[in-house]
Amino acid sequence: MGNRRKTLYLLRHGKSAWDHIETEDIQRKLLPKGIERTQRIAHYMSDINVKIDAIISSPAQRAIQTATIIEKALHLPEIIIEGRLYPCTSNAIFDTIIELDNTIDNILIVAHNPGITYFAQEYIDANIDQLHTSGLVSCSFDCQSWAEFSLANKKLNFVVSPKKLS
């Protein structure tokens, strides 16, 4: 059985391109600015010794690119692609979390607005109007099972955006 504490990290994908109308939304890639800002977040995570047991990403290209930057910087296990995270809803994130193996104590989910912001507002009580691109939220829950997280005592660890790290 896992620890008595579960920690969730929610990361919104980096800034992506809108300039090619013929590109399907799911195929949009990160802009150089999105890559750089996500690298800032990766350095921040490394500097504060964030521990991640699993990383789950939306299948959208920009989310996978964002997850890959974090994966490489923190030397994480292989990225798990979760189809229901695109398009992203708060319910899709919730369902993904409650189905996690309880031996996983620290999870990073890379997804999209508006779902990721709604989830943070509803389940983490993060005082944010909108999670910006490459924005990261962390919350710890006092529970042994991910199925219990929404009812557990929680502690908001931080909300950070790459612009604040400049």
11 assigned to some structural domain: yes
Measured N-to-C along each axis, helices 61-74 and 32-47 cross at an angle, to the nearest 10 degrees, of 40
Spatial CA neighbour of 95 closest among 83, 103, 106, 104: 83
1 assigned to some structural domain: no
Q: Tokens for 161, please give them.
A: 């955006």
Structural domain for 30, as ranges:
6-165
Does pLDDT of 1 surpass 50? no
142 assigned to some structural domain: yes
Please provide residue 19's backbone torsions phi and psi, each rounded to the nearest 5 degrees.
Answer: -80, -10
pLDDT of residue 142: 97
pLDDT of residue 51: 96
Task: Tell me how far CA of residue 35 lies from CA of 14, 74, 85, 138, in angstroms.
Answer: 7, 15, 21, 21
Look up tokens 């490489």; give the residue.
72
Confidence label for 17 from pLDDT (cuts 50, 70 and 90): confident
Mean pLDDT within 142-166: 94
Does pLDDT of 2 surpass 60? no
Count of Cβ atoms closer than 10 Å to residue 100 Cβ: 21
For the chain, what is the domain count?
1
Whether the link from the prior residue into 59 is cis, omega within 30° of 0, is no
Q: Tokens for 12, please give them.
A: 């919104």
Look up tokens 């695109």; give the residue.
86
The CATH number given to whatever domain includes residue 31 is: 3.40.50.1240
57 assigned to some structural domain: yes
Q: How many whole angstroms separate alpha carbon 10 and alpha carbon 135?
A: 8
